[in-house]
Amino acid sequence: MKKMCGPTSDIITHLPDNVKETILMSLPLQDAVRTSILSRKWGYMWARLPQLLFDDKFCRELIRNQKNKLVMTIYQVLLLHRRPILRFTLSLSGLEGCSKIDQLVLFVSNNGIQEFNLHIRIGEPYKLPSSLFSCLQLKDLTLRSGGVPKRLPITLSHLKIIDLYAICFGEVNEVSIVLCLIRSSPNLEKIIIEVCTHETTAIDHVLELLEIQDWSDVSLNQLREVEIRNLSGTRFELEFIKLLLAKSPMLETMLIEPDLEKVADKGLRILKELTRFWRSSPKAKITYNDPDGSRNENEPLKIKFSKWFVFFFTSFGLSDTER
């Protein structure tokens, strides 16, 4: 980026701070940093941005596979930052989980983080340090290949949204991650889960975790929206849905998108299972995105027909007064 001079430079120099911030947030981070050479008044404006995004655009100028150098560069950027970091995204296709990432997480945890997004696509699953879950302001958590401690240090009373990728409901550890977050977040409003399915031998252990009677002390009173993607219709997945329906008295919508390859002709069977589940919210509506758009006229479902199956629990199933 070349330094400007003349009238154009004066205009850019004297832009209002809110306009500068809007411009900076629309730029890739490395370009935002380079604006510091425009003038003294731009200086470290980038270091006051409330959101930082480290993605493949950020690291394309660095030598590939130099993991340590990449993480240290990110850490140096954080050290120069001068204001609270409200939104932090780390999403690099070549990044593996490593202990140095703990330092990044600790830093943002101590700087007012409200929205945390972590995508680690290769290597062993990375377990997030407990420091992140000591952050009282955390509202929105998105994880791809990131585990959480078995017990969290505090109740995440401000957490409103969790978005989890590649969760296998046949794995005890992964089910524990989901349930730990839900138990610790009494004010959740939205849950998004992308399912990953493979063979399991821990059937009994997983089902024990999902037993509704063990959740007598938990009620998701603020949960209004659930999205479950890549559903394959396993017993574990359906038990999880059953649990959410039973513990969410304010639930409004549940969107289910099946795995097209694994569900095949099992769509109606899954629908039948779902209609049998008791729910605590009389307003709960489930939208099932059927892979083939078929409709069985003999099924006792109220269907708004398109490529979506939409059925309303108020037309069938039991409400609180009908149990």
For the stretch 274-317, pLDDT in tens is 888 888 999 999 888 865 554 433 333 333 333 444 444 444 44
| H/E run at residue 69 | helix 67-80
pLDDT tens, 132-173? 888 889 999 999 876 777 778 788 999 999 999 888 888 888
Beta partners for 256? Answer: 228, 288
Query: Reduced to 3 states, what is the DSSP secondary structure of residue 84?
Result: coil
pLDDT for residue 12 is more than 50: yes
What is the average pLDDT value for the chain, to the nearest integer?
Answer: 77
**What CA–CA distance (Å, rounded) separates 85 from 93?**
23
Q: How does residue 260 score in pLDDT terms, banded at 50, 70 and 90?
A: confident
Find the range with the poorest average confidence among 52-56, 123-127, 182-186, 228-232.
123-127
Chain centre to alpha carbon of residue 236: 20
Strands (E), 160-237: 161-167, 190-195, 225-231
State how beta strands 225-231 and 190-195 pair.
parallel
Q: Which residue has the higher pLDDT, 204 or 64?
A: 204
DSSP secondary structure letters along 282-294:
TT-EEEE--SS--
Q: Quote the tokens at residue 238.
A: 């359906």
In the DSSP assignment, the letter for residue 3 is P
**What CA–CA distance (Å, rounded) separates 292 from 260?**
9
Q: How many Cβ atoms from other residues are within 10 Å of residue 103's Cβ? A: 15
**What CA–CA distance (Å, rounded) separates 12 from 4?**
9
Q: What is the pTM of this model?
A: 0.78
For the residues 110-139, what does the mean pLDDT come to?
A: 85
Contact 234, 262 (CB under 8 A): no
Contact 300, 271 (CB under 8 A): no
Q: How does residue 61 score in pLDDT terms, banded at 50, 70 and 90?
A: low
Contact 290, 309 (CB under 8 A): yes
Query: Reduced to 3 states, what is the DSSP secondary structure of residue 260?
Result: helix
State how beta strands 309-312 and 285-288 pair.
antiparallel
Q: How does residue 1 score in pLDDT terms, banded at 50, 70 and 90?
A: very low
